[in-house]
Amino acid sequence: MKINPVNRIDAAYQAYRKNNQTSRPDEPKQDKVDTVELSNEAQIQLQKDKELKIQQLKSQIENGTYKVDSEKIADKLISLWKSGAKLDE
């Protein structure tokens, strides 16, 4: 059986087009969105960690050992100001 090289090229081209069809112009493009879902156990652990941190801060405030880092506050205020965020909201 003799194979015509033109037919092989045409068949390869048709297979390529079939596999690499782009979306049609009339179809809207769907943006892909990444999502993350936390398990119930992870959500519970996060809540426990949050509550522990709050308790630690409360006890530091009550004991008078909580120290305010004025440089961090100033840096945050400056970065917000530079970004155009409204500080009174």
- pTM exceeding the 0.85 threshold for the entire prediction: no
Q: Give residue 19's pLDDT band: very low, low, confident or very high (50, 70, 90).
A: confident
**Residue 57 C-beta-side C-alpha neighbours within 13 Å:** 7
Q: Which domain does 73 fall in, by range?
A: 58-89
pLDDT beyond 60 at 2: no
Establish if 85 belongs to a structural domain. Answer: yes
- Total domains in the fold of the chain: 1
Which carries the bigger pLDDT value, residue 87 or residue 85?
Answer: 85
- Percent of the chain surpassing pLDDT 90: 53
User: Could you tell me which residues come within 8 angstroms of residue 77 by beta carbon, excluding any fewer than 6 positions away?
Assistant: 87
The structure tokens listed for 31 are 């943006």
> Which of 3-7, 50-54, 67-71 is predicted least confidently?
3-7
SS3 3: coil
Contact 38, 46 (CB under 8 A): yes
